Amino acid sequence: MRDVAIISFAQSNIEDDIRSEVEILQPVAAEAVKQSGMARTDIGFTCSGSSDWLQGQPFAFVMALDAVGSWPPIKESHVEQDGAWALYEAWVKIQTGEVESALVYSFGKTSPGDITQVQALQTDPYCVTPLWPDLDSITGLQARACLESGVVTETQMAEVASRSMRDAMNNPHAVRKADRSPEDLLGEPYRVSPLRDHDCPANSDGATVMVIASAELAREHSRRPVWIRGFDHRIDPPALGVRDLTQLPSAATAAEKAGVAKDKIDFAEVTAPYSHQEVLLRNALGLSDDLKVNESGGSLAAHTLMSCGLNRIGDAAMRIAAGNGDRAVAHAGQGPCLQQNLVVVLEGE
Amino acid sequence: MAELCAVIGVGQTNFDANRIDVSMPGLLREAALRALEDAELTWADIDAVVVGKAPDMFEGMMLPENYLADALGATGKPLLRVHTAGSVGGSTANVAMSLVSAGLHERVLTISFEKQSESNAMWALTLSPPFSVSVVAGAGGFFAPLVRTYMHRSGAPEDTGIRVALKDRLNALKNPYAHLKMPDISYEMIRDSMMLWDPIRYLESCPSSDGACAMILSNEKLAERTPRKPAWVHGSSMRSEPVQFAKRDAVNPMSGRMAAQDLYSQAGIKDPRKEIDCIECYVPFSWFEPMWMETMGFADEGEGWKLTLDGTTALDGSRPVNMSGGVLSSNAIGASGMCRYAEAANQVRGEAGEHQVAGAKKALGHAYGGGSQYFAMALFGAEKP
């Protein structure tokens, strides 16, 4: 494998951003390119992740090309997945030896619609979608299964939410921040039993941009390159009745293939849009109970759909780049009840 | 050093306006199982899956690949979903090729599809997006002015498009999977068909189809052991450019020209006119054949139409184009680019059946999308590169 490093990262998450996706993306892209120290035209490959459905029109990603610079014509691709998978495709492209660097970006704007209702469209279109189960309700079933099997307790869920919202007070990109105790949170009413508002994602509009480069370029352009040491992603079956919802086997496989357990980990950033999912991910990724997870506040503090996974990876990378840790795990997840999972192991120079 | 990559199995569904006989998973499995059968493999032999399709609104489902994971045999494996507008069938295969050439996987299933009958593509393309002008004319409305510009620039005879359509519709009669089969097709029928978007007539346009196309890719070691002849990948390229940019030439886009030059340089091709035997390219409206012939360097600028008129692009011509009947005969949008690749690969494998070009050694697959701004291409060879 070729050594590839993250050399710059920028993001924007705003609760109800009045700007269009292109307007949100453009300054973030400009900032990431500037931070990288590379000229836009010197970056060899461009890859993005987004969902047409959020924008309410087909080919939604096409206009984004104008925001990131695509003249003269660029080598470019797009996944209809979280930006973390765009990062994977870009990393693969550098592995082929065809390019030495890549611009990776993603964006999502969910404020114009009712996103939990919209995500019912991810289910089986013949047998499940007609029942229109919203995502909060689907995930409520998972949380209930976890409580009943003893994998998670309601107190643990409140602790995750309390800690995330408190950590978020130090994160300028977080949209939900509060200093509230778990006991206090447990007094809140249910949104969808057993989920309370703070157990559910803090939906935001935003964009995320990252520049990655092969070894020589990375050392030239970064004071402390953050190396991608392991990278894998897997998917579980779609039918909720087929899965044991208290387990995430695809996350466990991805963690094993990415080599999470090979060495000591300093911290982790995981995509857990619902509080109980952080516990499931700790179990699946083999993270110890006392490991610091989601100092950013995670998705409970800012959840830009299609960008949140790439945000977790970028947040982890920037903390390593700043010298606050040497080895970290970053995770992206998507699909109902975290059906698809991606794991990256990052190490400082 | 990048690994060599080869196509070792190809599968297509039967294309039709409405494949009500199968669900979305059923449609994909029809193509995937045919590809596995062609390669004499089973689901367990596949390391990763790369799936592509055009906008999710064409089926009315968000991120359908998650729902399709089981049907694609992807459970427990890596699954990528590519979407690059109309070029997606090509770029999906390109991404799958990169997984093999990077040495990450030995065998990859790549598949792309559209099941337009699940929803309504015309509706999906005629939304009024917030803060934007609504383009209510469909794809033909966007492309007709480009065709008119090409006619004006090149001085091509007005019936060039009719001749392309006649050729492709006759070729489709030899393709068992084609959607539109019109045994009594004639020049007059096409000429007299309704003018939809002047200068594009009804019978010069592609249909709306349900269908899927799959390919099994492998590295060199496994390709050498495959029961049927592999098609070796000699190169693959992609280029994109912005849609709203006064400087761009949408008729002969720079991204298309750059993608072709990149492909030839990877494949060591000095003169594509002499070294490439046949081409499957994305022609959703007849006039795009001469236009793409120029973009890809098979004719000088303004002269692409001559290749149609002098019979060069006919099935029995010196450099046939769209031997399968092309997009004019089957257009399951997301699948169309991969069909071009699969048909090109089958030509050099000698597996193209009735529309086989005798002795084809090098064949080009081409796809484009968006407002003529996304290009994906691959070159397949009968011999190793």
Residue B54 · residue B370 · CB < 8 Å: no
* Residue A55 binned pLDDT confidence (cut-offs 50, 70, 90): confident
Across the range A116-139, mean pLDDT stands at: 96
| CB-based contacts of A189, cutoff 8 Å, min separation 6 | A196
> What CA–CA distance (Å, rounded) separates B67 from A146?
23
How far apart, in whole angstroms, are the C-alpha atoms of residue B268 and residue A225? Answer: 36
The set of residues, in sequence order, having a beta carbon less than 8 Å from that of B21 and lying 6+ positions away, is none
Is the model's pLDDT at A57 over the cut of 80? no
A253 touching chain B per CB within 8 A = yes
CA distance B160 to B162: 5
A235 and chain B in contact, CB less than 8 A: yes
In this structure, the answer to whether residues A30 and A69 fall within a common structural domain is yes
Number of H helices, E strands in chain B: 14, 11
> Mean of the per-residue pLDDT values for chain B?
95
What's the rounded Cα separation, in Å, for the pair B277 and B262? 18
Nearest to B283 by CA among B238, B342, B326, B315: B326
Q: Is the pLDDT of residue B130 over 80?
A: no
Count of CB atoms within 10 A of residue B163's CB? 21
Distance from CA of A65 to the nearest CA of B (A): 6
Residue B368, min C-alpha distance to chain A (Å)? 13
For residue B119, pLDDT over 90 is answered with no
User: How many angstroms separate the CA atoms of A320 and A312, rounded?
Assistant: 13
Q: Is A93 on the interface with B (CB under 8 A)?
A: yes
Could you tell me if A86 and A179 lie in one domain?
no
* Residue of B84, B91, B127 lying closest to A56 (CB–CB): B127
Instruction: State whether A167 and A84 are in the same domain.
Output: no
Residue B46: per-residue pLDDT: 98
Q: Which of A25, A193, A37 is nearest to A109 (CA)?
A: A25
The single residue listed with the structure tokens 């299609």 is: A306
Q: Any bridge partners for residue B108, and if so which?
A: B48, B217
- Same domain for A220 and A160: no
pLDDT tens-place string over residues B165-187: 999 999 999 999 999 999 999 99
Is the Cβ–Cβ distance between A25 and A207 less than 8 Å? yes
The share of chain A scoring above pLDDT 70, in percent, equals 100
Region A316-340 average pLDDT: 98
Q: Which of B1, B78, B237 shows the shortest C-beta gap to A234?
A: B78
Chain CA centroid to CA A68, Å = 20
Instruction: Examine the fold and report which residue of A189, A224, A259 is the final residue of a domain before the chain moves on.
Output: A224
What pLDDT shows up at residue A121? 95
Structure tokens at A306: 């299609």
Give the Cα separation of B315 and B321 in Å (integer).
7
Query: Is 70 exceeded by the pLDDT of residue B129?
Result: no
State residue B138's pLDDT score.
75
Q: Which amino acid is at A46?
A: T
Q: Provide the CATH number for the domain around residue A50.
A: 3.40.47.10
Q: Which CATH number applies to B5-120+208-223?
A: 3.40.47.10
Which pLDDT belongs to residue B215? 98
Give the pLDDT score at B124: 73
Q: Does A50 share its domain with A153?
A: no
Domain check: are A341 and A254 in the same one?
A: yes
Chain A, 11 to 30: residues with Cβ < 8 Å from chain B are 20
pLDDT over 70 at B58, yes or no: yes
Shortest Cα distance from B86 to chain A (angstroms)? 9
What confidence score (pLDDT) does residue B106 get?
98
Indicate if A163 and A23 belong to the same structural domain.
Answer: no
Q: Do A172 and A251 fall within a single domain?
A: yes
- Which member of B24, B76, B259 has the closest CB to residue A253? B76
Q: Work out the angle at residue B340's Cα, subtended by the Cα atoms of residues B335 and B345, and round it to the nearest 5 degrees.
A: 120
A79 Cα to chain B: minimum distance (Å):
4
Into how many domains does chain A fold?
2
Q: How many CA atoms lie within 13 A of B25 on its CB side?
A: 15
ipTM for the predicted complex: 0.97
One domain for residues A171 and A108: no
> Taking residues B303-318, what's their average pLDDT?
98
User: Quick one: average pLDDT of A325-339?
Assistant: 98
Model pLDDT for residues B31-56, shown as the tens digit of each residue? 999 999 999 999 999 999 999 999 89
Pairing status of strand A101-108 against strand A45-49 = parallel
* Cβ neighbour number for residue B385 with a 10 Å cutoff: 14
**Higher pLDDT pick, B220 / B247:** B220
Q: Name residue, tokens 């809140």.
A: A188
pLDDT of res. B139: 83
Q: Closest residue of A to B238, CA-based?
A: A75
Query: Chain B closest CA to A162's CA: distance in Å?
Result: 31
Q: What is the pLDDT of residue A58?
A: 78
B373 shares contact with chain A (CB less than 8 Å): yes
C-alpha–C-alpha distance, residues A212 and A231, integer Å:
14
What are B216's two structure tokens? Answer: 């099994």
Q: How many helices (H) and strands (E) does chain A have?
A: 12, 11
Q: Residue B152: its pLDDT value, please? A: 98
Q: Which of B62, B99, B242 minimises the CB distance to A53? A: B62
Q: What CA–CA distance (Å, rounded) separates A309 from A299? A: 9
State yes or no: pLDDT of A56 exceeds 80: no
Q: Is B258 on the interface with A (CB under 8 A)?
A: yes
> Rounded to an integer, what distance in angstroms lies between the CA atom of residue A175 and that of residue A202?
7
Asked whether the predicted pLDDT for residue B126 surpasses 90, the reply is no
**pLDDT(B136) > 60:** no
Query: What pLDDT band is residue A297 in, cutting at 50, 70 and 90?
Result: very high
Chains A, B: CB pairs < 8 Å: 190
Please write the tens of the pLDDT for every residue from B348-363: 999 999 999 999 999 9
Kindly state whether residues A124 and A163 are assigned to the same domain: yes
Mean pLDDT of B299-319: 98
Do residues A97 and A236 both lie within one domain? no
Q: What is the mean pLDDT of chain A?
A: 97
Percent of chain A residues topping a pLDDT of 90: 95
Mutate to test the interface with A, among B62, B77, B249 (most CBs of A within 10 A): B62
**Which of B161, B144, B151, B134 lies closest to B196, judged by CA?**
B144
What residues of chain B lie within 8 A of the CB of A55, using their CB?
A: 129
| Residue A57: domain span | 4-113+203-224
8 Å CB contact of B240 and A70: yes
DSSP codes, A155-210 = HHHHHHHHHHHHHGGG-TT-S------HHHHHTSPEEETTEEGGGS--B-EEEEEE
Contact B2 A71 (CB under 8 A): no
- Which amino acid is present at A227? W
For residue B142, what pLDDT is reported? 85
Tell whether the model's pLDDT for residue B26 goes beyond 60: yes
Q: What is the pLDDT of residue B320?
A: 98
Q: What confidence score (pLDDT) does residue B137 get? A: 66
Domain ranges in chain B?
5-120+208-223
**How sure is the predictor about B127, in pLDDT bands with cuts at 50, 70 and 90?**
low
At how many degrees (to 10) do helices A275-285 and A154-167 cross?
100
Residue A211 parent element (H or E): strand A205-214
Cα dihedral sign, B89-B95-B101-B105: negative
Here the tokens at position B8 are 């070792």
Kindly tell me if the per-residue pLDDT of B1 is higher than 60: no
Question: Over 80: is that where the pLDDT of A159 sits?
Answer: yes
User: How many Cα atoms are found within 13 Å in the side-chain-facing hemisphere of B220?
Assistant: 11
What is the three-class DSSP state of B257?
Answer: helix
Cβ separation of B258 and A73 shorter than 8 Å? yes
Q: Which amino acid is at A236?
A: D
Query: Residue B252 pLDDT > 70, yes or no?
Result: yes
Q: What is the pLDDT of residues A247-292, one digit of tens each?
A: 999 999 999 999 999 999 999 999 999 999 999 999 999 999 999 9
User: 215-244 in B: which are within 8 Å (CB) of A?
Assistant: 237-244
User: Does residue B134 carry a pLDDT above 80?
Assistant: no
CB atoms within 10 A of CB B298: 23
At A328, phi and psi to the nearest 5?
Answer: -140, 160
Residue of B nearest to A250 (CA): B76
Amino acid occupying residue B265: S
> Is A334 in contact with B66 (Cβ distance < 8 A)?
yes
- Taking the alpha carbons of B55, B59, B62, B66 in that order, is the dihedral positive or negative? negative
Please name which of B80, B110, B64 lies closest in space to residue A335, comparing C-alpha atoms. Answer: B64
Asked if A48 reaches chain B (Cβ–Cβ under 8 Å), the answer is no
Task: Indicate if A20 and A135 belong to the same structural domain.
Answer: no
Instruction: Tell the burial category of B117 from Cβ atoms under 10 Å away from its Cβ (0-12, 13-18, 19+).
Output: middle
pLDDT confidence tier of residue B260, bands split at 50, 70 and 90? very high
